[in-house]
Amino acid sequence: MPIDYDKLLNYPIPAVEQDLSMRDSMLYALGVGVGADPMDTGQLQFAYEDGLKAMPSMAVVLCHPGFWVKNPDTGIDWVKVLHGEQSMVLHRPLPTRGKLIGKSRVTEIYDKGADKGALMYQERTVSDAETGEKICTLTASTFCRGDGGFGGGPSGPSPKPHALPGRDPDGAIDMPTLAQAALIYRLSGDYNPLHADPAVATKAGFERPILHGLCTFGVACHALVKALCDYQPERLVRQDVRFSAPVYPGETIRVEYWRDGGQVSYRAKVVERDVVVLNNGYAEIAG
């Protein structure tokens, strides 16, 4: 069954309520590499209950609607979907606990052609369930490789990624990852076996389980908070990126950045293989 443009654009993705705990906040931080230096108090504030703060990128796991594209009535060939881009805008510092509600919707689907697939954009807003105050807005693109040529939707132009500056990076920071990083990160809600089961990873064409793309996103966030925000997480108010290649747990992620006032461009490479894994990165820093 092909994608029905109007149906998918109005697909009823259920709202998700979450009772966020301090343990959830600390577990997420450990999943993106916090605590590698136990003497670094800047890192400790994300993993220790005394004065606990949330890593900004935790926004991407809050009130997640789950893998709803797997539902047969979406018309999506879910086996062939890839996470293309991710953006988060923080309207206030993330809480470390509390009752939250997330509402998701499909905002557009571009039909790139029968041999090129489709590009679907989604938006999720997360708010305080008790006060209604908006906490963050998340947008993402999903590349549906097996669903082009459905008709009924625009063919483009789709939004262009952020262009990196032509000059050399202003700085770089290396972020080692643990061999068990994917096994820790998945406990924040993404249980795709591709990140844990060697047999599934091999069937998908990888030599071993890969790191979640959103974990790599979180590692980059940690790097930006460390290098450019002096470990003041409330200063990072936006982060965008395009996923370009997978990371294997245990590899070192080098985040290169260009700073133009409060606007930051960045990309990330795996040091051991010299492969760009995050590209066209953009962030905004307050103060």
What residues are annotated to the active site? 190, 195
Tokens standing for residue 95: 């809480």
163 φ/ψ angles, rounded to the nearest 5 degrees: -90, 130
